[in-house]
Amino acid sequence: MAAMNRKDLGEFLAKQGILVAFAVFMIAFTMANQKFISIDNVFSVVRSSAILGIMAVGVTFVVISGNLDLSVGSMMSFSTIVVLDLHDKVGPALAIPLMFLMTLCLGAFIGFLVGYLRLNSLIVTLGMLSAIHGLTLTYSGGQNMDIADKEGTWFSVFGQGTALGIPVPILMFLAVAAFLGLVLARTPFGRKVYAVGGNGTAATFSGIRRARTVFTCYLISSGCVATAGLIQASRSLGSQNTVGQGLELEVLAAVILGGASLLGGSGTIFKTVIGVLILGFIQNGLLLMGLQFYVQFVVTWIIIILAVWLDIAAKRGKLWSSIA
């Protein structure tokens, strides 16, 4: 009997290791500071995680398809700067679609290079990280971009508004995650993404257009980046050129924390969302504890490794790896 129970628990942990880890952190932080779990704080964490989260959802597609996207941070800066600039020039109603168009073009360019030309995605997106930053600086002349009339624009609704008492960024995050989660889990396209990432050659031999699939993943990723940029811009109605700098690694950390393999072929949107929330709540929890930022660095390190370790240890049913 006992053995049976342990086996069931083992199987549960194997499937939900990351959720368990999440629950453990939440309880630990709540015990350290009651305010941690207050509705205000939860809203504020999820709201600021929304930007990272939406990007992570997009990057999940790219990672499952067997590629990387390190350009999302500087691409987000680009979207933010562009939409803020266009806001005053052509009005928000036109600025938003124009910004999406421009960001999608960048995504399409990367998708073309990685999907159709089959260039290595790490280097391509590393290159684009730098190139898009240059583009943003050229576009803005290196200046901060600010909306002139901050009080009178409806543009602020995406970042600052609420609907049904819930902040709009959270709603957008949920909507994007739910929609793309369904796309990935249930549609033929989603299936192809897994196949291409799992074994691109076999996918090709099965009649899947690998290049197109990868291309579409980058389009999705850049679409998510544009959405994140929109929220970012709307949240502060002004921005620096470096607003997204360094986010690419945080995004990647969230995706991996969620259990997606860098080799491609595995991962889910739901788990990525959990990964995002873990990162968001760790950061917030440590801040509330008043730890020095560098102690936060160290603790984050330990938590990331513990969480991933727990996850894979549960999957293999053994704590230590079997590497000889």
Partner 1 sequence: MQKSTVSKALKSGAIWGFILLELIFFSIAGEHLSLSDTAFMDGENMLLLLKQSAPIGIIAMGMTIVMVNGNIDLSVGATFAIAAIVLLDSMTWPIFAGLGDGVIPVAWLLALTVGTLLGALNGLIVWKTGVDAFIVTLGSMLGYRGIVFMFNGENPTSHLNWTLVDFAEAEFLGFATATWFLLGVTLVMWFVMARTVHGRNAYAIGDNREAAVNAGIRVGPHMMINFAIIGFLAALSAVVFYSEAGSVNPNDGQLYELWVITAVVLGGTKITGGAGNVIGTFGGVIAIQLLRKGLGHIGADTSTVNLAVGLILIAVLFLDKQLNLKGKEELKV
Partner 2 sequence: ETMKIGITQNNVGVDSYQTTYEKAFIEAAEANENVEAVVLDAGGDVARQIAQIEDLIQQDVDAIIIWPTNGEAVIPAVRKAFQADIPVIVTNSNIAEQGFDFVKSFSGPDNITQGARSAEIMCDKFKEMGIETEAQVVHITGQPGYTTAIERAKGFEDRLPEVCPDVTIVDTQPGDWNREKSQQVMEAFLVKYDDIDGVYAGDDNMGVGALNAAKAAGRDDIIFVGATNFAVGYESMAAGDYWGSIYQSPVDDAKAALNTAVDVLSGEDVPFLNYFDTPKITQDNMDEFSKPVF
Partner 3 sequence: MTDPVLRLENIVKTFPGVRALDGVSFSVMPGEVHALMGENGAGKSTLMKVLGGIHQPTEGAIYIGDDRVTMAGPLEAKAKGIVFIHQELSLAEELSVAENIYLGELPRKRFGRVDWATLTERTNAILGKLNVGFDARTRVGDLSIANQQMVEIARALTVDAKAVIFDEPTASLTDAEKVVLFDVIADLKAGGVGIIYISHRMEEIFRITDRISILRDGQYQGTVNTAETDEESVTQMMIGRQLDLSRNASHHQLGEVAIEVRGLSCGKLYTDISFDIRRGEVVGFYGLVGAGRTEIAETLFGLRRPSAGQILLGGVETQIHSPDEAIAHGISLVPEDRKGQGLVLGMNCRDNMTLPQVDRLASGPFVAEGEEIKIFDKYRDQLDIRTPGWRQKVGNLSGGNQQKIVIGKWLSMHPDVLIVDEPTRGIDVGSKSEIHKLLRELAAQGYAVMVISSEMPEVLHVSDRIIAMYSGRIIRTFRSEDVTEDSLIQAISGIGPGAQATEVA
Using CB under 8 A, list all residues that contact partner 3.
Answer: 182, 186-188, 191-192, 194-195, 198-199, 201-209, 265-266, 317, 324
User: Given the complex with partner 2, which of 88 and 146 has the nearer CB atom?
Assistant: 146
Q: Are 60 and 255 within 8 A, CB to CB?
A: yes
Query: Could you say whether residue 33 binds partner 2 (CB under 8 A)?
Result: yes
**Considering CB distances under 5 to 8 angstroms, the limit depending on partner class, which of partner 3, partner 2, partner 1, none binds residue 238?**
partner 2
Q: Which does 298 bind (CB under 5 to 8 A by kind): partner 2, partner 1, partner 3, none?
A: partner 1
Q: Which of 22, 68, 99, 133 binds partner 2 (CB under 8 A)?
A: 133
Residue 207 DSSP SS3: coil
Closer residue to partner 2 (CB): 38 or 120: 38
The residue behind tokens 């290079």 is: 113
Q: Does 142 bind partner 2 (CB under 8 A)?
A: yes
| Residue 125 interacts with partner 2 (CB under 8 A): yes or no | no
Q: From residue 79, how far is each of 32, 73, 176, 222 by CA, in Å?
A: 38, 10, 18, 10
- Minimal distance, residue 265 CB to partner 3, in Å: 5
Tell me the two tokens of residue 48.
Answer: 């600021």
| Binding-site member from 5, 164, 165, 293 for partner 2 (CB under 8 A) | 293
> What does 130 bind: partner 2, partner 3, partner 1, none (CB cut-off 5 to 8 Å by kind)?
partner 1
Characterize the bridge pairing of strands 145-146 and 238-239: antiparallel
Q: Minimum Å distance from CB 117 to partner 2?
A: 29
**Shorter beta-carbon distance to partner 2: residue 140 or 268:** 140
Residues whose CB falls within 8 Å of the CB of residue 142, separated by 6 or more in sequence, listed in order = 241
* Residue 53 CB partners (closer than 8 Å, separation 6+): 173, 177, 254, 272, 273, 276, 277, 280
Q: Which residues bind partner 1 (CB under 8 A)?
A: 113, 117-120, 122-124, 126-135, 137-138, 142, 200-201, 204-205, 210, 249, 252-253, 256, 261-262, 292-298, 300-302, 304-305, 308-309, 312-313, 316, 320-324
Query: 3-state class of 118 per DSSP?
Result: coil
Q: Of 52, 94, 64, 91, which is closest to residue 225 (Cα–Cα)?
A: 52
Distance between CA atoms of residues 210 and 169, nearest Å: 33
Question: Between 203 and 276, whose beta carbon lies closer to partner 3?
Answer: 203
Helix or strand holding residue 274 (H, E): helix 269-288
CB of 156 to partner 1, least distance (A): 29
Say how far apart CA 173 and CA 127 lie, in whole Å: 28
The yes or no reply on residue 290 touching partner 2 (CB under 8 A) is: yes
- Within 10 angstroms of residue 190's Cβ, the number of other Cβ atoms is 19
User: Are the CB atoms for 96 and 42 separated by under 8 Å?
Assistant: no
Which residues make up the interface to partner 2 (CB under 8 A)? 33, 35, 38, 40-41, 44, 48, 133, 137, 141-144, 146, 160, 232, 235-236, 238-243, 245, 283-284, 287-288, 290, 293-294
